[in-house]
């Protein structure tokens, strides 16, 4: 009797499973948008939020750091081949862009750097130029870390939203409304940072990667030295000795490392000087969350206040 009852229950559950309780197939996206890497992806999350049928993906995935050493793979090209738009940072960050444009001439590339004055890598602080600046020679590369300045991030969000509005006019108002809302949050954050950083006791800092010139420019900080222009390399013993000498001479007491890279060199400098190591995050990796950039910058503000006030 028990066996018959179990057999009956089993056949009922099988019948229910076959009668439409299975999950419906996922609807194909109306629009496929690919962001080149993390900070652009976070901007895209805010701009496309709630817009029907838009699928947004992050090409570089969860890899940490900038795109300095990113090699575009066959899978990435296939991903872009089926995309309607490619959101990029611009300013030379996507070194593989020529290949993408050559192989996929019909792909809409939306460049977030349009209209933003650029700084040259390794140039004296404050030397800006525009895309059309005659002073700019091919001997110099642009510093592509635009988004680390909140002001630049605001302009990038506007540029990306206008590009998507042009691509998808039926939802243009939705993209613009999302962008306006996010720009409001970014503006409030920028104003708060300006106010709280206005009366620091010192403005001299040393960084371990060239990610912060736009940030320093925006908040009137002075980068006394950059230790590793190439973030993956470690300074030689001779370079390290020079850094220690410089720190002692200048009296700079705040060394800033990034959570994405090794802090070995910074720890050596800290041990040999009166300077202290702090973490400043250039927002190149983190949570896949709309407010991630805001949260990272809020933490950077608290770090600067602790280090420099």
Give the start-to-end residue ranges of the domains of the chain.
31-117+142-194, 198-308
Give dist(CA 46, CA 243) in Å, integer: 41
Range 33-70 burial, b when 16+ CB lie within 10 A, else e: bbbbbbbbbbbbbbbbbebeebebebbbeebebbbeeb
**What is 31-117+142-194's CATH topology?**
Rossmann fold (3.40.50)
**Comparing 31-117+142-194 with 198-308, is the CATH topology the same?**
yes
pLDDT tens for 58-104 read: 999 977 678 877 889 999 999 999 999 999 999 999 999 999 999 99
- Which of 3.40.50.10900, 3.20.20.70, 3.40.50.1980, 3.40.190.10 would CATH assign to domain 198-308? 3.40.50.1980
Give dist(CA 165, CA 187) in Å, integer: 22
Whether the predicted model's global pTM rises above the 0.85 cut: yes
Q: Which of 264, 275, 204, 273 is nearest to 236 (CA)?
A: 264
Q: Which of 280, 285, 149, 175 is nearest to 226 (CA)?
A: 280
CB 248 within 8 A of CB 206: no
Q: What is the predicted pLDDT for the residue at 234?
A: 81
pLDDT tens for 220-242 read: 999 998 887 676 678 889 988 99
Q: Which of 62, 61, 55, 64 is nearest to 84 (CA)?
A: 55
Distances (CA, A) of 299 to 74, 160, 209: 37, 25, 19
């Amino acid at each position: 009797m028990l066996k018959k009852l179990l057999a009956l229950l089993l056949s009922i559950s099988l019948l229910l499973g076959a009668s439409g309780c299975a999950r419906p197939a996922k609807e194909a996206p109306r629009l496929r948008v690919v962001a080149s890497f993390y900070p652009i992806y976070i901007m895209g999350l805010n701009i496309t939020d709630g817009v029907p049928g838009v699928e947004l993906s992050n090409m570089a995935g969860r890899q940490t750091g900038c795109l300095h050493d990113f090699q575009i793979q066959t899978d990435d090209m296939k991903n872009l081949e089926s995309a309607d738009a490619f959101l990029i940072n611009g300013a030379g960050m996507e070194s593989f862009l020529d290949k993408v444009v050559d192989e996929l001439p019909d792909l809409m590339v939306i460049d977030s750097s349009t209209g933003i004055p650029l700084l040259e890598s390794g140039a004296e602080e404050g030397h800006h130029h525009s895309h059309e600046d005659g002073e700019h020679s091919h001997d110099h590369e642009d510093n592509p870390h635009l988004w680390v300045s909140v002001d630049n991030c605001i302009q990038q969000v506007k540029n990306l939203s206008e590009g998507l509005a042009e691509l998808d006019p039926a939802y243009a108002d939705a993209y613009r409304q999302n962008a306006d809302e996010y720009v409001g949050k970014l503006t409030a954050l920028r104003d708060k940072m300006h106010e709280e950083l206005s009366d620091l006791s010192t403005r001299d800092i040393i960084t371990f990667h060239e990610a912060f010139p736009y940030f320093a420019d925006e908040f009137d900080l002075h980068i006394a030295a950059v230790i590793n222009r190439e973030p993956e390399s470690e300074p030689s013993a001779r370079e390290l000795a020079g850094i220690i000498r410089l720190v002692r001479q200048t009296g700079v007491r705040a060394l800033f490392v990034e959570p994405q890279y090794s802090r070995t060199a910074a720890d050596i400098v800290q041990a040999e000087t009166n300077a202290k190591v702090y973490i400043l995050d250039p927002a190149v990796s983190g949570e896949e969350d709309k407010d991630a950039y805001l949260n990272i910058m809020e933490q950077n503000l608290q770090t600067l206040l602790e280090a420099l006030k």
